[in-house]
């Protein structure tokens, strides 16, 4: 069950204050101690692979931290997490999603008997795309015992939002066609599994608290593994450990 409405709004107000203080303090420290702050951000970026991504230098993304766009995006993510009701062993939300052909379906339709289903939520963010090959190797190694599904959600770094330089030029999705067009870009990476998109109401992203990227493993309708939120803690190798345990 969700939080009572008054309690939810109080929590949202508290998160708003936390994020505002975080941004103001971060901006001040970036001005006073630019080298130290950059080192701290780079240390976090090491977890996402950003520092090893040949398509990005630190000048492409570090200057965007603590901007107005950064504030609104972090606030959206933090607010979304307040309504996260998923838990290990709990029922996996059977959200509506849309095939790239435009056909509507539900997440549970991709479950095959008692085989685990790996859900990979994300968009064309640098961290998601950089680790996409790791996800593909999971498919190659475990397709005999598990199924996989990519769910394309709203853009984390849209060109008209919290944008990084040298990133893909994708604006915030205004309609389902925009989202389908963005998701088609993943096909060039040969995902080797079905790709669907979230609805424009962002139902799966909200119920799974998936923004900006997140991994789940569900089996027989229950949540077997719940990955931590990206980008800092998005880790396909944790899914590998889960599947190896099931395989053994």
Rg (the chain; Cα; Å): 18
DSSP 3-state percent helix, strand, coil across the chain (nearest 5): 50, 15, 40
Task: Report phi then psi at 199, rounded to 5.
Answer: -70, 165
What SS3 class is residue 101? coil
- pLDDT tens for the chain, residues 1 to 248: 445 577 888 999 999 999 999 999 999 999 999 999 888 888 887 777 666 777 767 777 888 899 999 999 999 999 999 988 899 999 999 999 999 999 999 999 999 999 999 999 999 888 888 899 999 999 999 999 999 999 999 998 888 888 888 778 899 999 999 999 999 998 888 999 999 999 999 999 999 999 999 999 999 999 999 999 888 889 999 999 999 998 87
d(CA 214, CA 212) in angstroms, rounded, equals 7
For the chain, domains (ranges, CATH) are: 5-247 (3.40.30.10)
User: Residue 13 belongs to what H/E stretch?
Assistant: helix 5-32
pTM of the model: 0.90
d(CA 188, CA 166) in angstroms, rounded, equals 18
């Amino acid at each position: 069950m969700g939080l009572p409405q008054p309690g939810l709004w109080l929590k949202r107000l508290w998160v708003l204050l936390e994020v505002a203080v975080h941004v103001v303090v971060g901006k001040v420290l970036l001005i006073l101690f630019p080298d130290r702050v950059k080192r701290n951000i780079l240390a976090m970026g090491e977890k996402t692979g950003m520092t090893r991504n040949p398509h990005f230098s630190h000048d492409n993304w570090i200057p965007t931290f603590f901007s107005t766009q950064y504030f609104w995006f972090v606030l959206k993510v933090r607010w979304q997490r307040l309504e996260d009701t998923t838990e290990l062993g709990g029922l996996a939300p059977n959200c509506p999603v849309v095939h790239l052909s435009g056909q509507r379906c539900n997440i549970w339709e991709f479950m095959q008997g008692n085989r685990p289903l790996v859900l990979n939520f994300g968009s064309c963010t640098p961290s998601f795309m950089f680790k996409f090959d790791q996800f593909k190797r999971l498919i190659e190694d475990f397709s005999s015992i598990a199924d996989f599904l990519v769910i394309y959600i709203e853009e984390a770094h849209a060109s008209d939002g919290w944008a990084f330089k040298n990133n893909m030029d994708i604006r915030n999705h205004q309609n389902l066609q925009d989202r389908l067009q963005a998701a088609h870009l993943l096909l060039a990476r040969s995902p080797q599994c079905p790709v669907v998109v979230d609805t424009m109401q962002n139902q799966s992203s909200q119920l799974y608290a998936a923004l900006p990227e997140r991994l789940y493993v569900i089996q027989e309708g229950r949540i077997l593994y719940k990955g931590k939120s990206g980008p800092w803690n998005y880790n396909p190798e944790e899914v590998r450990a889960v599947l190896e345990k099931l395989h053994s």
